[in-house]
A and B are shown apart, each in its own frame.
Chain A
């Protein structure tokens, strides 16, 4: 089997055993990228030499006897919202075109320390705002299952790169579903760790109370290995949890759900707007879990439907504040500075030229929700709804160990279909948002193809704060049972590019 089809765990073991070098593995993936990137367009920045230099350095460290982790030498695609010293960082925005950060994000630093080799920076919706990666200022990324469809978003470059075998692993960030939704619609695994479990230092901020870095992979174990590699307390992030990382790798290897209590969220298991093929695969997954010995019960969380409007008040409010830093003074774009204009005029011209439509919409929406006279009715009320949702989760987790739902209401939609209809776009995150508002862990694993369009469907498994291991445990059980039924991973059904 060629190197690009191997799992990250397999590649790490081969490199550790000296069967193949990190440089050879990197080269195989760079060749694959050269072959399929014209069709997929997952990457914003690729630099063959920098990548090969990193790989050779890892080979040298291994040869010198340095103890590195299980992913040493394994290549990874890195979302272009994490700062990287040796590569540009743009957040897919014109306002940061060509910016070279003077420091590495904590996630970047930990990838390097663990010996992962960064293949390049992946495309995203500008500042991670979107569900299709169409809001990138630079390019459209295409879903490897059907090039006319979106790869999800905001981490759509990262999901497409892994689904297209350009990389065995990638990083993402999940603010309202930006890892789980793209994973679901490209047939791969994507995990949103517990908020605070992975550091936000050097992650360009969108909504600071929600932003969470997490892993993408083609299987549950690889995702767990990656999460473990970059997680853990970081003194540089004041919201970082100072507690041991949940034992996610052990859970991913275990995959025993016998006796576990699993709750189906009634409000997310049917109703308007759910594609029949998505629902059919979800219901089969529920039966599968029962057949594996789990106790499945229905749980009602009536306020989850209000998570979407609450999120679209809270996230834009935080974004309007966070993006005020792009002021054309210290870094990034500056336009209109002709010697006659004031700083304020230059600022307004620069931001108008540098931000795309969705970012402008959200900045203005957040400014509105925070303005006096509207604050109580909008932002204040949304924060109360956040508490109500947290209480419903808490009550549910008294009865069950995990909650499940489809990850998304539909499969990947066609490029352009929702591009200028913000409300339709926002619905893609209907099922993923509650876990962001409460900081809970949640994963998406593939659970089959929808009959109508033959496109992947994701199963979402949600767990309480620091219950990340439960997501992996249930995810591994589902993966193992389905892959034995399918005779291999779901991705083998994807068309060759």
Chain B
């Protein structure tokens, strides 16, 4: 039995904002199936009572004084933008036609 179906991979691609072709979906479905089967081996480690670690080192929140500091200028911030209009990022429409 496969760990992941082609439909599930198509769903993952949608969630990941990746417009994949049918051929790519077939290819990734096979590969992801093999990878997931392999990484599922983490289940073999007995760890019911073990707390999870999200990080290597113990972390606490880090704060800095709330002071005004120099930041990027509008020119710098927009310097890599694909499209700019009136000192702002120009983006494709974000709402449906009806809105």
Contacts and interface: CB of A to CB of B under 8 A. Distances in A.
Nearest to A331: B80
Q: Is the interface of A mostly helix, strand, loop or mixed?
A: helix
Instruction: Classify chain B: how many residues form its interface, as a range.
Output: 35 or more
B55 to A, nearest CB: 5
Interface in A358-397: 360-361, 363-365, 367-369, 371, 377-378, 380-388, 390
Contacts of B72: 102-103
A210 B55 CA distance: 8
B3 to A, nearest CB: 9
A327 B92 CA distance: 11
Nearest to B60: A238
Interface bin, chain A: 35 or more
A160 interface: no
B18 A346 contact: no
B42 A381 contact: yes
A306 B44 contact: yes
Nearest to B48: A384
Contacts of B61: 238
A209 B57 CA distance: 9
B35 A342 contact: no
Interface string A324-351: 1001111111100101011111111101
Contact of A364 (B12, B43, B94): B12
A382 B81 CA distance: 37
Given A209-B55, A367-B15, A383-B53, A102 B79 contact: yes
Given A100-B79, A334-B82, A337-B83, A368 B4 contact: yes
A384 B82 contact: no
Nearest to A210: B56
Given A306-B42, A385-B47, A390-B53, A368 B36 contact: yes
B92 A368 contact: no
Interface string A440-454: 100000000000000
A300 interface: no
A468 B77 CA distance: 38
B19 interface: yes
B51 A384 contact: yes
B16 A364 contact: yes
B18 A437 contact: no
B45 A363 contact: no
A384 B12 contact: no
Contacts of B57: 195-196, 239, 241, 439, 465
- For the complex of A and B, the 10 pairs showing the least CB-CB separation, nearest first, are A439-B56, A331-B80, A383-B52, A334-B82, A384-B47, A102-B76, A348-B19, A309-B39, A352-B19, A238-B62
18 contacts: A324-B17, A329-B81, A329-B91, A333-B82, A337-B82, A341-B92, A343-B91, A343-B93, A364-B13, A368-B12, A378-B42, A380-B52, A381-B45, A383-B52, A384-B45, A423-B34, A439-B55, A439-B56
